[in-house]
Amino acid sequence: MVVNSKPTLPPTYLFVSIASMVLLHFLIPVVEIAGYPWNMLGLIPLTAGIVLNLLADAAFKKVQTTVKPFAKSTALIVTGVFRISRHPMYLGMCLILLGIGILMGTVTPMIVIPIFCVLMERIFIQTEEAMLAEQFGEQWTTYKTKVRKWI
């Protein structure tokens, strides 16, 4: 019997992170850092993160290349949100988590954010960048020198 083991994709990590933040907020709230109305400022990074993800996804669809990690890309996108960050979708997910953390207004959910960012770097970004370097060579190297990995 062959077991089809698909890799866990970034949105799963995002949803697990959000659930972890909610649990930490309610189980171990520790200290309130932003009460109402200041916690509403979390809508800014939350919205920015959603917009970044939607724009990056649209760019992938426009050039008809894959958005899936570990899948071979058919195009190197260097325009739009990819002029700001080499990985705008991961950046967007981190902003979504930051926004949710600010909306919750307590310290403990914030612990999840750097853990999520490190996981994205180690599990996805390093491999993706190696694949892009192999696939696009000098074009990737030029792009990499002009655009930061995160921001």
* CATH number for the domain harbouring residue 18: 1.20.120.1630
Domain that holds residue 130: 10-146
Can you tell me the distance from the alpha carbon of 30 to that of 24, in angstroms, rounded to the nearest whole number? 9
33 found inside a domain: yes
1 found inside a domain: no
4 found inside a domain: no
Q: DSSP labels for 6-59? A: PPPPHHHHHHHHHHHHHHHHHH----BS--TTGGGGGHHHHHHHHHHHHHHHHH
* pLDDT at 7 (0 to 100): 84
* pLDDT at 2 (0 to 100): 53
Average pLDDT along the chain, 151 residues, taken 10 residues at a time: 73 98 93 91 98 97 93 95 97 98 95 98 96 96 96 87
* pLDDT at 34 (0 to 100): 85
* pLDDT at 30 (0 to 100): 83
How many independent structural domains does the chain possess?
A: 1
